[in-house]
């Protein structure tokens, strides 16, 4: 049964990557799954935390990407809290990206698919920490240096 679910997931992932024409953005790395950019929801979470009792409170934010595609619910999480300015900058770039691109690909080591309910529907859910988000002209990476060769790039550090 596990093998069947894995094969199903790989089939769905490969069909998401395939473009309708040769000009469409494609990535062949197995870590990447590509989606129509309009299917992606971004959740921003702001909080106020205190790192130690002697320090004042700090405002932080985190964002996650959620996609429901072909009865699979993908959840891409951020590894750690960021500054509110970082999230604001990312969202500004994301809005520009949505105007210019139809597809975006996300790299992550995803969990094994598990059955879950999403908006009242039974789906397979996969989650993981994103490492890279790419389009044909933009790249945002968690780890420095992964976006070589792409003109418009931003890094988390």
Q: What are 135-152's pLDDT values in tens digits?
A: 888 888 887 666 766 666
pTM of the model: 0.71
Distance CA 1, CA 45 (A): 36
User: Band of the pLDDT at 28, cuts 50, 70, 90?
Assistant: very low
Query: What pLDDT was estimated at residue 149?
Result: 64
Q: What are 63-110's pLDDT values in tens digits?
A: 999 998 888 899 999 888 899 999 999 899 899 888 888 899 999 988
Considering only residues 31 and 151, tell me which one the structure prediction assigns the higher pLDDT.
31
DSSP codes of every residue in the chain: -HHHHHHHHHHHHHHHH--SSTTS-----TTEEEEEGGGEEEEEEEEEE-SSTTSPPEEEEEEEEEEEETTEEEEEE-SS-B-HHHHHHHHHHHHHHHHH-SEEEEEE-PPPPEEEEETTEEEEEEEEEEEEEE-SSEEEESSTTTTTT-SEEEE--
Element of type H or E holding 106? strand 103-108
User: Band of the pLDDT at 124, cuts 50, 70, 90?
Assistant: very high
Considering only residues 50 and 145, tell me which one the structure prediction assigns the higher pLDDT.
50
Query: What pLDDT was estimated at residue 96?
Result: 87
């Amino acid at each position: 049964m596990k093998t069947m679910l894995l094969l199903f997931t790989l089939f769905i992932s490969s069909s998401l990557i395939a473009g309708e024409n040769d000009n469409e953005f494609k990535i062949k790395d197995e870590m990447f799954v590509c989606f129509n950019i309009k299917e992606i929801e971004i959740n921003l979470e702001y909080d106020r935390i205190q790192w130690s009792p002697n320090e004042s409170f700090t405002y932080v934010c985190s964002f996650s990407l959620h996609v429901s595609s072909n009865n699979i619910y993908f959840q891409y999480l951020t590894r750690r809290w960021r500054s509110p300015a970082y999230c604001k900058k990312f969202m500004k770039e994301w809005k520009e990206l949505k105007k210019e691109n139809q597809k975006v690909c996300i790299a992550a080591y995803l969990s094994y698919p598990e059955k879950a309910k999403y908006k009242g529907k039974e789906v397979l859910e996969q989650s993981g920490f994103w490492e890279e988000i790419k389009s044909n002209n933009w790249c945002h990476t968690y780890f420095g240096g992964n976006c070589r060769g792409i003109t418009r790039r931003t890094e988390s550090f």
